[in-house]
Amino acid sequence: MYSLFLECPEQDAELLSSELWEEGASGIQEESLPGARCQLRAWFDDPTGLLQRFAPFQPRIEADQEIDWEQASRQAWQPFEIGKKLYLAPEWDEDPTPRGRMRLTIHPGQALGTGDHPATQLCLEALEKHLPPAAVVLDVGAGTGILMAAAALLGARHVAGCDIEYDSIAVAYRNLLTDGLPPHVFAGSTRAVRSQSVDLLVANINAVTHEALAAEYARVARRCLILSGFPDRHAGRVRQAMLGHGFELAETIEKNEWVCLVLWNEDNS
Ligand SMILES: C[S@@+](CC[C@H](N)C(=O)[O-])C[C@H]1O[C@@H](n2cnc3c(N)ncnc32)[C@H](O)[C@@H]1O
């Protein structure tokens, strides 16, 4: 694609534009110049045959730089570190993992769960700090499976995830398989899970859902809850819902107004 630049007095711009359209321009941009003049930039596959016709308007041709969209989107997904142990890197990243960190592969192109949301990052930080050794973990609202993958990396013995959206389940299944992790995902929510069968339950959803599922969380999780996905103004509600079920607040972590509550059931620790 090439750009043809023309200059003309402002009052001639409209007429000149319509001539350029007639010549098959695929787009035209107008820019004001000093002295009531303007510059028209028109895109053509090959405008060389138009130079003579538009000679009075100081025509100039420039080859447009090809935009490499794949490269541009890759530039937008740079690896980053979370907490003290994790290194989140897109699947195409070939840089070595920084020493002392574990590589958590992210799969850009999927809406939720690429690790760039503060609530996801808070869950990752909390997992890193609070995951008991060899724990059985349940991720409620697994999305792309990013928290499941993190729990597995951080040493969980068994990780399962559920989601009420079938699309998410399919994506999580594929991602976990690609990452060489067991894809224990199922469609639905906590109801299918046996009572007291999970050491740590992580859920990045929203305050209303956490309140609605509070009794279920307490039924399936023995020791620790990591709950995020809500702004700080809703943290009190979520905390209150869990206190009624024997869970005590161990830590609150925040990022850009998002909150993550870590709650422990001391009776089972
Ligand atoms: C914000 S995304 C979290 C994705 C991923 N876990 C993360 O941290 O990036 C919330 C997910 O919870 C799921 N969800 C919402 N309500 C749910 C429920 N009652 N039970 C299970 N999953 C639910 C949604 O379908 C969505 O995939």
Q: How far is the CA of 207 from the centre of ligand 1 (A)?
A: 12
Q: Which of 122, 120, 124 is nearest to 101 (CA)?
A: 124
The verdict on residue 87 lying in a domain is no
| Amino acid 179: pLDDT | 94
Decide: 120 in ligand 1 pocket, CB within 6 A.
yes
The verdict on residue 88 lying in a domain is no
Query: Could you tell me if 28 and 155 lie in one domain?
Result: no
Q: What are phi and psi of 82, to 5 degrees?
A: -130, 135
CA–CA dist 30, 47 (Å, integer): 17
Decide: 207 in ligand 1 pocket, CB within 6 A.
no
Strand ranges for 59-123 from DSSP E: 60-63, 80-82, 86-90, 102-106
The verdict on residue 239 lying in a domain is yes
For the chain of 269 residues, list the mean pLDDT of each consecutive stretch of 10.
93 91 89 94 92 93 76 77 95 93 84 78 97 97 96 98 94 95 96 96 97 97 97 96 94 96 86
SS3 99: coil
Asked if this assembly's ipTM is beyond 0.90, the reply is yes
The verdict on residue 194 lying in a domain is yes
Query: Could you tell me if 149 and 238 lie in one domain?
Result: yes
Residue nearest (by alpha carbon) to ligand 1 atom 23: 141
Q: CATH number for the domain including 129?
A: 3.40.50.150
Query: Could you tell me if 53 and 115 lie in one domain?
Result: no
Q: Which of 23, 45, 63 is the last residue of a domain?
A: 63
Ranges of H-type helices in 33-114: 69-76
Number of domains the chain is built from: 2
Query: Could you tell me if 37 and 133 lie in one domain?
Result: no
The verdict on residue 105 lying in a domain is no
Query: Could you tell me if 24 and 130 lie in one domain?
Result: no
Range of the domain at 157: 111-268
Residue nearest (by alpha carbon) to ligand 1 atom 4: 143
Query: Could you tell me if 149 and 236 lie in one domain?
Result: yes
Residue nearest (by alpha carbon) to ligand 1 atom 20: 189
CA–CA dist 167, 163 (Å, integer): 9
Query: Could you tell me if 135 and 234 lie in one domain?
Result: yes
Decide: 115 in ligand 1 pocket, CB within 6 A.
no
Cα atoms in the 13 Å half-sphere on the side-chain side of 47: 28
DSSP state of 117: S
CA–CA dist 204, 113 (Å, integer): 10
Counts for the chain of helices (H) and strands (E), in that order = 7, 14
Query: Could you tell me if 37 and 159 lie in one domain?
Result: no
Query: Could you tell me if 196 and 130 lie in one domain?
Result: yes
Count other C-beta atoms under 10 Å from residue 120's C-beta. Answer: 27
Q: Which of 133, 161, 158 is nearest to 147 (CA)?
A: 161
Q: CATH number for the domain including 37?
A: 3.30.70.120
Q: Tell me the one-letter amino acid at 1.
A: M
The verdict on residue 250 lying in a domain is yes
Decide: 193 in ligand 1 pocket, CB within 6 A.
no
- Which two tokens mark 233? 């103004």
DSSP state of 195: T
Query: Could you tell me if 174 and 55 lie in one domain?
Result: no
CA–CA dist 114, 145 (Å, integer): 9
| Amino acid 27: pLDDT | 85
Query: Could you tell me if 136 and 215 lie in one domain?
Result: yes
The verdict on residue 164 lying in a domain is yes
CA–CA dist 212, 56 (Å, integer): 73
Decide: 111 in ligand 1 pocket, CB within 6 A.
no
Angle at 15 between CA 13 and CA 20, to 5 degrees: 90
Residue nearest (by alpha carbon) to ligand 1 atom 7: 113
SS3 34: coil
Contacts 24+ apart (CB under 8 A), 61-65: 61/2, 61/3, 61/4, 61/5, 62/2, 62/3, 62/5, 63/1, 63/2, 64/1, 64/2, 64/3
Residue nearest (by alpha carbon) to ligand 1 atom 14: 141
Q: How far is the CA of 17 from the centre of ligand 1 (A)?
A: 51
The verdict on residue 212 lying in a domain is yes
Query: Could you tell me if 137 and 195 lie in one domain?
Result: yes
In sequence order, which residues have a C-beta less than 8 Å from that of residue 186 and are 6 or more positions away? 160, 161, 162, 169, 192
| Rounded-to-10 torsion of CA 158, 161, 166, 169 | -50
